[in-house]
């Protein structure tokens, strides 16, 4: 239940990579090596590999499930590297469409893959037994348990994710994020954190946990696909540029600002909608498999 508090904290630190303004001599294709981001990414991967190796040495039971989760975590980790360290990050400071692609990678690729990877259950096994027990006891305290239960209520997580998307794409807030690094950090942190909460309600729970059915998860995905598609359509079909701060940098690279905005809207509208559709298909397939082969998913629960 509380297993996403640490991933939220660690991965929100990674969102700080986007907290610097464009300067006149900045390169639009430079790699970004923000110390906190690189350190958080390196530590998260090292802990996962160490925990996975220790779990693997305990026996073959549940090994296929752990391997699948390892693959999901590594894939999500690589998406974070591309979004926050690769030249895409620098380019997102110049082009709105690259900015939108970065946002979609954080929310629609990295977040669900990291949720499926269940990192904290594996990270714990990288620590000595005594420390692992103390950390586990701490996460069961009411000061952590109660807020976590509230934040992972499906309606709450859905609302937070929707609010983050719509509020930060309002021109006033988006412009403020471009102008002030601290607000920019808050923008990316809220995108990533709300996406992790949202995808936890879709993939992170057991079957029908706390009365939440696969049907509810599919409803969350469908409604999110509809409202994000609407936002993408508004950006694509807008007759003018929403964000004047993007005009200068876009023209500096030889692109039309309105066409760049339309491309960014299409990124949210089409590939974004496809990601939610794929998520719904996966939820449906999981529900059908559980009906065909009932089982109790205890592998990682007992190990973590």
What residues contact residue 298 under an 8 Å CB cut-off, 6+ apart?
none
| Structural domain spans, the chain | 5-303
Q: Percent of the chain having pLDDT more than 90?
A: 51
Element (H, E) at 144: helix 142-151
Cβ-contact 202, 283 below 8 angstroms: yes
Between 303 and 268, the higher pLDDT residue = 268
For residue 302, the model assigns a pLDDT of 43
Q: Residue 130 and residue 133: Cα distance in Å, rounded? A: 5
pLDDT tens digits for range 84-114? 999 998 898 899 999 999 999 999 999 999 9
Q: Percent of the chain having pLDDT more than 70?
A: 84
**What pTM does this model have?**
0.83
Q: Is 81 left (phi over 0), alpha (psi -120 to 50) or beta?
A: alpha
For residue 179, the model assigns a pLDDT of 85
What distance, in Å, lies between the first and last C-alpha atoms of the chain?
11
Q: Residue 81 and residue 45: Cα distance in Å, rounded? A: 11
For residue 17, the model assigns a pLDDT of 39
pLDDT tens digits for range 138-171? 888 888 888 888 998 899 999 999 999 999 999 9
For residue 13, the model assigns a pLDDT of 43
Mean pLDDT for the stretch of residues 252-280 = 93
Q: Residue 16 and residue 39: Cα distance in Å, rounded? A: 12
For residue 93, the model assigns a pLDDT of 87
DSSP string, 146-176: HHHHHHTSHHHHHHHHHHHHHHHTSHHHHHH
């Amino acid at each position: 239940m509380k297993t996403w508090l640490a991933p939220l904290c660690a991965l929100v630190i990674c969102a700080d990579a986007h907290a610097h303004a464009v300067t006149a001599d900045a390169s639009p294709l430079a790699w970004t090596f923000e110390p906190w981001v690189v350190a958080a990414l390196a530590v998260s991967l090292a802990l996962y590999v160490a925990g996975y190796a220790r779990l693997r040495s305990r026996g073959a039971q549940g090994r296929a499930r752990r391997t699948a989760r390892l693959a999901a975590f590594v894939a999500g980790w690589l998406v974070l590297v591309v979004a926050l360290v690769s030249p895409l990050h620098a380019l997102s400071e110049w082009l709105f469409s690259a900015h939108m692609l970065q946002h979609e990678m954080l929310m629609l690729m990295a977040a669900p893959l990291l949720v499926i990877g269940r990192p904290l259950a594996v990270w714990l096994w990288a620590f000595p037994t005594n420390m692992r027990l103390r950390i586990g006891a701490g996460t069961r305290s009411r000061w952590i348990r109660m807020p976590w239960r509230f934040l992972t209520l499906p309606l709450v997580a859905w609302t937070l994710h929707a609010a983050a998307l719509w509020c930060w794409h309002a021109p006033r807030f988006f412009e403020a994020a471009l102008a002030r690094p601290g607000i920019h950090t808050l923008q990316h942190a809220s995108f990533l954190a709300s996406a992790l909460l949202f995808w936890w309600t879709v993939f992170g729970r057991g079957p029908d946990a706390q009365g939440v059915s696969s049907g509810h998860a599919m409803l969350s995905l469908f409604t999110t696909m509809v409202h994000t598609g609407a936002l993408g359509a508004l950006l694509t079909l807008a007759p003018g540029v929403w964000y004047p701060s993007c005009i200068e940098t876009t023209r500096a690279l030889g692109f039309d600002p309105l066409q760049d905005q339309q491309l960014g809207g299409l990124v949210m509208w089409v590939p974004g909608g496809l990601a939610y559709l794929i998520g719904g298909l996966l939820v449906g397939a999981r529900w059908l498999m559980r009906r065909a082969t009932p089982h109790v998913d205890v592998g990682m629960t007992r190990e973590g």
